[in-house]
């Protein structure tokens, strides 16, 4: 329908799948944890914690090979207390059957548009295929305001294409990180803070309502390594009702939980439970200048057993050389 503007439930859902093996292995707890190039997605404030330029890539096959999901990002420290980054996310589903021109009257062979016609049938030679592709680009700025307070912001551009229809949108996120104690971090990311408008070329406008992501993480030195439990809450205003863990009227609350054990900054093992009831496990290895992370996610409830598991692999390249080090105060 044309000329309508309405809140689109789940219209920004492709933006909530997450990026980077570390946070995804920890059940998607990134708001207080992310301190590298992936912070541009999880919490823009965390980007100010990085001291060297970084590049990240991730590939994921979601629900088997049905959904292809790719992510790439680059970020650089600037001056003594700022960082800039750019991130791109692409989600695509290809080979969707298009039966719109294949509906016929079986008696006359004529093309029809009314599926309630009692003689309807399909002319299989007229079935074509189309794709659904979603893109998002994040431009991130972050600043360390003081030793224990960081803030940041994203401008994001969204493009959605399904068959011959397309939509374009722009949105804003604002994030903050506060460390009241040495090993304790709390973070918040207010996504789509002004409400993000997706304008379809049909004349219909879809609104992505704001989401508040709140997170906390605590780092504990133990057994020769670092043990980090983390907890995130997603607060949405989309009237998700029982599709969430808990709701008060139109406001819904989802939780994510994760743990990481990092041994001497060389190897890490991770586990978590995310907002879509998936158990996640992951591992990471840090080579000179290169982090390789793998994450596996499987559904926990029996009715989802038919959905294939999700595998993700991600890389972070750090230009860890003295000439690229952030300038000190």
**What is the 3 state secondary structure string of the chain?**
CCCCEEECCCCCHHHHCCCCHHHHHCCCCCCCCCCCCCHHHHCHHHHHHCCCCEEEEEEEEECCCCEEEEEEEEEEEECCCEEEEEEEEEEEEEEEEECCCCEEECCCCCECCCCCCCCEEECHHHCEEEEEEEEEEEEEEEEEEECCEEEEEEEEEEEEEECCEEEEEEEEEEEEEEEEECCEEEEEEEECCCCEEEEECCCCEEEECCEEEEEEEECEEECCEEEEEEEEEEEECCCCHHHCCEEECCEEEEEEEEEEEEECCCEEEEEEECCCCEEEEEEEEEECCEEEEEEEEEECCHHHCCCCCEEEEEEEEECCCHHHCCCCC
The C-alpha atoms of residue 16 and residue 33 are separated, in whole angstroms, by 16
Whats the size of the chain, residue-wise? 329
More confident residue, 11 or 284: 284
Please state the pTM of the whole predicted model. Answer: 0.86
The C-alpha atoms of residue 154 and residue 137 are separated, in whole angstroms, by 10
Q: Which residues are registered as beta bridge partners of 252? A: 236, 247
Which residues neighbour 222 within 8 Å (Cβ) at sequence distance 6 or greater? none
* Mean model confidence pLDDT for the chain: 88
The torsion region of residue 20 among left (phi > 0), alpha (psi -120 to 50) and beta comes to: left
CA trace torsion 273, 274, 276, 278 (10° rounding): -40
**Cα 194 off chain centre by:** 19
pLDDT of residue 1: 46
Q: Tell me the average pLDDT across 237-263.
A: 79
Span 53-74, pLDDT tens digits: 999 999 987 666 678 899 999 9
Asked whether the predicted pLDDT for residue 270 surpasses 70, the reply is: yes
Q: Tell me the average pLDDT across 77-91.
A: 96
Q: Express as a percent the part of the chain with pLDDT over 70.
A: 90
Per-residue confidence band for 40, with pLDDT thresholds at 50, 70 and 90: very high
Token pair belonging to 287: 């080579």
Span 289-319, pLDDT tens digits: 999 999 998 876 655 556 778 889 999 999 9
pLDDT of residue 242: 57
Q: Tell me the average pLDDT across 15-37.
A: 94
Using an 8 Å Cβ cutoff, are 4 and 205 in contact?
Answer: yes
Per-residue confidence band for 152, with pLDDT thresholds at 50, 70 and 90: very high
**Cα 14 off chain centre by:** 7
Number of Cβ within a 10 Å radius of residue 210: 18
The C-alpha atoms of residue 107 and residue 116 are separated, in whole angstroms, by 15
Using an 8 Å Cβ cutoff, are 185 and 80 in contact?
Answer: no
Q: Tell me the average pLDDT across 151-158.
A: 97
Asked whether the predicted pLDDT for residue 214 surpasses 50, the reply is: yes
Token pair belonging to 240: 């998700």
The C-alpha atoms of residue 28 and residue 21 are separated, in whole angstroms, by 9
């Amino acid at each position: 329908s044309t000329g309508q503007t309405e809140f689109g439930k789940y219209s920004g859902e492709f933006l909530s799948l997450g990026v980077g093996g570390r946070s995804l292995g920890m059940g998607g707890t990134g708001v207080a944890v992310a301190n590298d190039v992936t912070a541009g997605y999880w919490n823009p404030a965390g980007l100010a914690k990085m001291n060297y330029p970084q590049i990240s890539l991730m590939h994921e096959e979601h629900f088997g090979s049905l959904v292809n999901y790719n992510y790439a990002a680059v970020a650089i420290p600037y001056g003594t207390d700022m960082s800039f980054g750019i991130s791109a996310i692409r989600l695509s589903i290809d080979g969707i059957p298009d039966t719109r021109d294949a509906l016929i009257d079986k008696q006359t062979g004529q093309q029809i548009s009314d599926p309630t016609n009692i003689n309807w049938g399909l002319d299989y030679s007229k079935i074509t295929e189309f794709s659904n592709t979603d893109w998002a680009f994040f431009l991130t700025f972050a600043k360390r305001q003081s030793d224990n307070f960081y803030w940041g912001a994203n401008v994001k551009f969204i493009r959605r294409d399904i068959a011959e229809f397309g939509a374009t949108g722009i949105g804003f996120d604002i994030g903050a990180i506060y460390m009241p104690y040495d090993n304790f971090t709390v973070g918040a990311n207010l996504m789509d803070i002004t409400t993000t408008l997706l304008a379809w070329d049909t004349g219909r406008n879809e609104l992505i309502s704001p989401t508040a992501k709140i997170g906390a993480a605590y780092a504990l030195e133990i057994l020769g390594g670092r043990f980090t439990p983390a907890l995130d809450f997603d607060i949405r205003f989309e009237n998700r009702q029982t599709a969430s863990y808990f709701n008060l009227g139109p406001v819904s609350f989802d939780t994510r939980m994760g743990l990481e054990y990092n041994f001497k900054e060389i190897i890490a093992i991770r586990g978590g439970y995310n907002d879509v009831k998936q158990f996640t496990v992951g591992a990471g290895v840090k080579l000179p200048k290169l982090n390789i992370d793998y994450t596996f996610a499987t559904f926990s409830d029996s009715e989802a057993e038919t959905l294939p598991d999700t595998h993700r692999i991600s890389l972070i390249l750090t230009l860890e050389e003295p000439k690229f080090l952030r300038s000190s105060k």
